[in-house]
């Protein structure tokens, strides 16, 4: 029983070394998790900026499409007027 309760310096040193090692490992993991959290935050910010750019491009594309449709309608009207004029004997004129 006396040997069971007795501790020597080697055993105490081993326990201290294991506890120190676990503390160092915990701090390392904690630092890695914090670094990954910072990276994820940066990625979220970049994605937010990218989302803004994509939305802006989509809006511009819609505006260009609407303008194209208006120009096509205007061209059709011009063609109809030209057809009406040429049917009634007007001569086409060339402009410089």
Identify whether the C-beta of residue 92 lies closer than 8 Å to the C-beta of residue 86: yes
Domain boundaries, the chain: 2-87
pLDDT in tens, the chain (96 residues): 556 666 778 888 899 999 999 999 999 999 999 999 999 999 999 999 999 999 999 999 999 999 999 999 999 998 888 888 877 766 666 655
Q: What is the pLDDT of residue 16?
A: 93
pTM attached to this predicted model: 0.53
Can you tell me the distance from the alpha carbon of 92 to that of 90, in angstroms, rounded to the nearest whole number?
7
């Amino acid at each position: 029983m006396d040997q069971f309760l007795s501790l020597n310096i080697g055993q105490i040193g081993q326990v201290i070394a294991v506890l120190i090692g676990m503390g160092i490992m915990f701090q390392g993991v904690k630092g890695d998790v914090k670094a990954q959290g910072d990276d994820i935050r940066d990625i979220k910010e970049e994605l937010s900026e990218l989302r803004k750019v994509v939305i802006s491009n989509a809006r511009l594309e819609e505006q260009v499409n609407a303008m194209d449709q208006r120009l096509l309608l205007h061209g059709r009207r011009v063609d109809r007027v030209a057809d009406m004029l040429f049917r009634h004997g007007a001569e086409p004129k060339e402009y410089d």
